[in-house]
Amino acid sequence: MIDLYYFNVLPLIYNYSNNLENLFILPVLVFLTLFTGLKTMLIEPQNTQSHNYQSKLNGKYPFDNILFYPKTICHTCKLEKPARSKHCSICNKCILLNDHHCIWMNNCIGKGNYLYFYGFLFGNISVTTYAFLRLLYVLLRSKALISNKPVLTLFILSGTFSVICISFTYMQLSLIKDGMTTNEKDKWFTIQEFMRNGRLVRTGAPQEDSTWFILDPDLDTQCLGSSETKYYSTNPYDHTVYTLSDFTKVESPKDIPNIYDFGSFWANLKDVCS
Ligand SMILES: [Zn+2]
Ligand SMILES: [Zn+2]
C-alpha cells in the first residue's frame, strides 16, 4: 500500500495535497507503524524459559484458583506455569500474559511487547483511516480520478483495512477494559457457560477465598444436591473426582471474581504494557 501510494497515487493527487502531510504527517505515521510493527515482531515476550522471569513478575499475578492454579506443570515445557501464562505451540514456550500468537507478526503477544503491539494497531488505524479520508476528499473534488485504477484500489484497500483495524482494536481494548487477555476471555466464556447451565458451584467463603467446581458433565443438574454427586475442579489439570457436602450454586457472573481486573481501563492498560 505504501509503494502504491508513493509511486502511483501521489503523482496524481499531488495538487490536492500539501507539504505538511507529504513531508511530515504521513512519513511520521508510516515510520511509527513500521517501527512498532518491527518491535512487536522482534521482541520475545517473557516466558518460563526466560532468565529471572519470576523476579521480574515479583508475585504480580497471584493464582485465582478459577482459571489458574498453582503447581501446574506444562505438559510440553515440563516447567511450572505461572498465573496468566499459556503455552504457545508455535513459539514452543509458556508465554507470560499470553494474549494470542499473531500470525501477521509471527510472534506471541505477551508480557514485553504489548505496548508495541498497541502502537502498531494505532499506527495502522491512523495510516489507513487518514489515507481513506484523504482520498475520499480528493475523489469528491476530481470525478476523473474515480476511474483511475491505482487511486480507486488504494481507496478501497485503505477503507477496508481501516474498518478491519478499528474492529480488531476495539475488541482488544474491550478485553483490556474487562481485565482479560484473549486467552483468558475463552476460559471465562467456558466458566460462564457452566454457570449458565447451572453446573458451576463454589465452596468456602465468597469471592477470592472460594474453591470452584463443575458438576460431572454426565450428570443432570437435578443431581446437584445429592451427596453422591461427582464434581470436578475448574482446573483442567486436576482430574480428581470430588464429592461436596457444603457448596453454593453460582448463578451470576458478578459472583465470579476476576482478580486480574485492576478496576479501570487505564489501570489494566498500564499493567499489561509495563
Ligand atoms: Zn509450556
Ligand atoms: Zn507464539
pLDDT tens digits, one per residue of 73-128: 999 999 999 999 999 999 999 999 999 999 999 999 999 999 999 999 999 999 99
What pLDDT sits at residue 243? 86
Q: Could you give the angle at the alpha carbon of 204 between the alpha carbons of 198 and 205, nearest 5°?
A: 100
**Band of pLDDT at residue 186, cut at 50, 70 and 90:** very high
For residue 264, is pLDDT > 90?
yes
Mean residue pLDDT of the chain comes to 88
Task: Residue 159: count other Cβ atoms within 10 Å of its Cβ.
Answer: 17
For residue 11, is pLDDT > 70?
no
Catalytic-residue membership of 102 = yes
What pLDDT sits at residue 175? 96
**Band of pLDDT at residue 150, cut at 50, 70 and 90:** confident
What pLDDT sits at residue 85? 94
Task: Residue 247: count other Cβ atoms within 10 Å of its Cβ.
Answer: 19
Q: How far is the CA of 194 from the centre of ligand 2 (A)?
A: 29
**Band of pLDDT at residue 154, cut at 50, 70 and 90:** confident
What pLDDT sits at residue 99? 95
pTM: 0.85
What residues does the ion ligand 1 have nearby, CB within 5 Å?
74, 76-77, 87, 94
Task: Residue 152: count other Cβ atoms within 10 Å of its Cβ.
Answer: 15
Q: How far is the CA of 246 from the centre of ligand 2 (A)?
A: 42
Quick one: what percent of the chain has pLDDT higher than 90?
A: 53
What pLDDT sits at residue 223? 67
**Band of pLDDT at residue 181, cut at 50, 70 and 90:** very high
Point out the ligand nearest to the CA of residue 47. Answer: 1
For residue 37, is pLDDT > 80?
yes
Point out the ligand nearest to the CA of residue 109. Answer: 2
For residue 254, is pLDDT > 80?
yes
For residue 212, is pLDDT > 80?
yes
What pLDDT sits at residue 180? 96
Q: How far is the CA of 176 from the centre of ligand 2 (A)?
A: 20
- According to DSSP H, which parts of 71-221 are helical? 114-141, 149-178, 182-196
Point out the ligand nearest to the CA of residue 108. Answer: 2
Phi, psi of 200 (to 5 degrees): -100, 130
What pLDDT sits at residue 207? 64
**Band of pLDDT at residue 53, cut at 50, 70 and 90:** confident
Please tell me which residue in 91, 102, 223, 273 is annotated as part of the active site.
102
Q: State the residue for C-alpha cell 508513493.
A: 6
Which has more pLDDT, 239 or 209?
239
